[in-house]
Amino acid sequence: MATDEPAQHASQDFTEEGAIEVAWGQVDQYEIVRKLGRGRSSEVFEGIRLVDYQRCAIKSLKPAEKTKVVNEIKMLQTLRGGPNIIQLWDVVVDPRSNTTSLIFELVDNVDFRSLYPLLDDNEIRYYLRELLRALEFCHSKGVMHRGVTPHNVVIDHSKRKLRLIDFGSSSTCMPGTTYDVRLGRVFGAPELLLDFEEYDYSLDMWCLGEMLASMIFRIQPFFHGFSRLNCLEQIATTLGTKGLLNYIERYDMDAPDVDDIPVHEGRSWTSYVTHENGGLANDVAIDLVDRLLRWDHQDRLTATKALEHPYFASLEEGTRL
């Protein structure tokens, strides 16, 4: 029987290695209502939990994605109860298709391409603070999300509710450990684009900074390139080529092809301010963007420090706009 916590009646080992314990729910306790979307390894549906007719989200993963399923469940178990972390209700398997499905709370998400252009200054501050609270909790538990993009931040604007979702690519963070850099380019931090494998939580902070920049300057996405090298050049047009070269030298990175990037002096953040976005791209917002979007990952604000930034001073603790 599915409840707000994973069912406890059928606990069993999910992996041969015994990495996690999963309490399996009953697949016949859920009914699909409609399809919401799909990704490379999953499909997402709106569903009904039949025991109480509670609406839910059903994320069905392909059988071949066992490793990703295990990882997502493990991360969500670690983060259970954290602020603005999507709630995992249940895990079920369809015996006919051998498909594993994760059952989540349902958030009536408004597509960011429709929502972001409508947000005012206070609303952007509020949602960024809520996202930072989620990231601060993740990082305090030793978890890098590694996929902080508008697609993985769902917002029910009518309820002012934000949730961070999709922990399939998340990872624990251990000093001196190397990690996969093939995580996508659209919100690719410089360390990913330079194949620097010893990255850390600051990866998430770069992605948060890109989201904030796109929201206040009304440019979506803020940095957009068609290749790894072009993405680096797009960043260099704003942050400057000198900073890129210093970054490569400091960490002794092997990146000979960056010599193909034209020299850019950089561009001030205020040069992106227009009559249309001036009310959003104010001095304090620009200062926060500047402290997040730094070439050197060690120079970026942590989630805790970002929450202390004056940008959020106008929001009272517990504010729900």
d(CA 250, CA 61) in angstroms, rounded, equals 41
Q: What is the DSSP string of 255-319?
A: -GGGGGSPP-----GGGG--TTTTTTS-HHHHHHHHHHS-SSGGGSPPHHHHHTSGGGTTSPTT-
DSSP classification of residue 270: G
- Write down the H helix ranges in 32-93: 66-79
- CB-based contacts of 132: which residues, under 8 Å, 6+ apart? 208, 303, 306, 307
d(CA 157, CA 273) in angstroms, rounded, equals 26
The tokens describing 225, both together, are 């390139």
- CB-based contacts of 318: which residues, under 8 Å, 6+ apart? none
The H or E element that residue 216 is part of is: helix 202-217
- The response to whether 305 counts as a known ligand-binding position is no
Task: Write 217-220 long-range contacts (CB < 8 A, 24+).
Answer: 217/272, 217/273, 217/277, 217/280, 217/281, 218/117, 218/274, 218/276, 218/277, 218/280, 219/272, 220/112, 220/113, 220/116, 220/150
The tokens describing 127, both together, are 């949602």
d(CA 167, CA 187) in angstroms, rounded, equals 16
d(CA 96, CA 201) in angstroms, rounded, equals 40
Residues in the chain: 321
The tokens describing 251, both together, are 């960490």
d(CA 184, CA 229) in angstroms, rounded, equals 13
> Known binding site: residues?
59
> Known binding site for ATP: residues?
59
